[in-house]
Structure 1
Amino acid sequence: MTHNTRIRPSLKARLRRGVDKLRYETGDRTISEASLTDKALEDYLDKHGL
C-alpha cells in the first residue's frame, strides 16, 4: 500500500544521505528510504503503545 505524506525537503535529504551511508557501510542493498521510514514509524508506535 502506498501512503503519500509530505516530508520536509531537509529531512528527505537527510534520509537519502542516511540510506546511502548505511548501504555503503553494511553492503546491504535492501536498505531503502521506505524500509527506514517503516522502521522509524514502527519504533515510534511501539514506544507510544500504539
Structure 2
Amino acid sequence: MDIVALWDAVRPWWLVWLVILFGAIVFWALRPRNKRRFEEDAEIPFRDGRNGG
C-alpha cells in the first residue's frame, strides 16, 4: 500500500476524529469533579506572591 492509497483511506476519518476529540475535551472540562480545581486555577493571577501562595 503506497502513501497515496493510505491517505485516501484515512482522509474521511479526520473530521470524525476531531469531533470525538473536541467532545472528550468538553466533557472533561465540564465535569463537576474539576470545578474546584478550575476555580483555584482561575485565582492564580490574583494571588500575592509574598504570602506563599
Shorter-chain TM-score tier: 0.3 to 0.5
> Taking structure 2 as the reference length, what is the TM-score of the superposition?
0.36
Structure number with greater Rg is 2
> Taking structure 1 as the reference length, what is the TM-score of the superposition?
0.38
Q: Greater RCO between the two (CA within 8 Å, min separation 6)?
A: 1
